[in-house]
Every structure is written in structure tokens, then in C-alpha cells.
Amino acid sequence: MKYLVTYQRVPGSESLIVEYLPAHRDHFMSYHQRGVLLAIGPLRDPANGEALAIFTSREAAEEFVAGDPFMVHGIASCTIRAWQDVLQPGEPG
């Protein structure tokens, strides 16, 4: 089981993104280095401020969200959902 964090940018927060992007990047890189953040990035079609992150556990996702500068400073809202990944690395197809 993996956990998806779906972000939605809060309207009117665009000017804050530039200010907090370096801290947000440092935050997600620390989770990636720990091996609990598998992927993160914006959705491009449409480019409306949505982003997605994939975590190895609910605990990691919740901890990440609680300390993410984008959440702390009201730049985004999010949801955390369980996701059953059916293509596990190393398993035959």
C-alpha cells in the first residue's frame, strides 16, 4: 500500500510560492533521502496548481504534510488517500 498526497493551490497564494519554494524543496528532498517519498511533482494537464506526492506509509505522508512550508503558510490544501499499487518492483508481470 502506498499513500497519495494530492495538493491543490489555494487561490491568491501564487506570490507566496516563490518565497517558500526553496524550503518546500528542502523539505521534500529530506523525505526522498529517507526513502519514504517515492515521487512528487505538479500535474501539467491542466496546469491549475495541482500536484501529487507518493509516500511509502500514511505516517510519512501525514508527517510530511504537517511540516511542509506550502501547508504551514497556507499555499495549498491537500488530501491523503491510500493507493493499492499493483505493480510492485521485482514481481513478475
Give 79: exposed, middle or buried? Use CB within 10 Å, 0-12, 13-18, 19+: exposed
What are the pLDDT digits (tens) for 28-37?
Answer: 999 999 999 9
The pTM is what? 0.88
* pLDDT score for 70: 96
Distance between CA 63 and CA 85 in Å, rounded? 21
Give 61: exposed, middle or buried? Use CB within 10 Å, 0-12, 13-18, 19+: buried
**What is the fold, at CATH topology level, of the domain defined by 2-83?**
Alpha-Beta Plaits (3.30.70)
Q: Where are the domains positioned within the chain? A: 2-83
pLDDT band of residue 91 (cuts 50, 70, 90) is low
Distance between CA 71 and CA 9 in Å, rounded? 10
What are the pLDDT digits (tens) for 10-21?
Answer: 999 988 999 999
